[in-house]
Amino acid sequence: MRLTDHQRATLRRVLRQHFGPNSRILLFGSRTDDQARGGDIDLYIEPEIQEPDQIVEARLNALAELHLALGDQKIDLVIHREQGPDPLIHRHARQTGAPL
């Protein structure tokens, strides 16, 4: 996993603060490959909150806070709602992702 301890702790803290303390958070994509270089931070979240309006607000606030805390990093949040669809990217993230 190509994240520093500080980055992992910040991601966990901020995402759980905004999406709920029992939210499941996985890192997937190129940052899980220790041999790769660069790449954005791809995160899959199964949020504790489930209301669409709350999720949109949490996403915006979390990304703003993460950019302030981590600097100019490209961060992608893939958010899976219990009652929502289960597209291929969600299944891929669950199969290949690493818990934060």
pLDDT for 74? 94
Instruction: Please tell me the distance from the alpha carbon of residue 81 to that of residue 79, in angstroms, as a whole number.
Output: 7
Instruction: Please tell me the distance from the alpha carbon of residue 68 to that of residue 13, in angstroms, as a whole number.
Output: 14
pLDDT for 48? 97
Where are the chain's structural domains?
5-99
pLDDT for 39? 79
Please spell the DSSP secondary structure of 21-37, one letter per residue.
TT-EEEEESGGG-TT--
pLDDT for 21? 97
Closest alpha carbon to 44 in 18, 26, 57, 67 = 26
pLDDT for 83? 86
Q: Where are the alpha helices (DSSP H) in 20-86?
A: 52-70
pLDDT for 2? 83
Closest alpha carbon to 73 in 81, 65, 85 = 65
pLDDT for 47? 98
pLDDT for 85? 85
Mean pLDDT by 10 residues, the chain (100 residues): 91 98 95 77 96 97 97 94 90 94
Q: Tell me which of 3.40.50.150, 3.30.43.10, 3.30.460.10, 3.30.830.10 is the CATH number of domain 5-99.
A: 3.30.460.10
3-state secondary structure of 46: strand
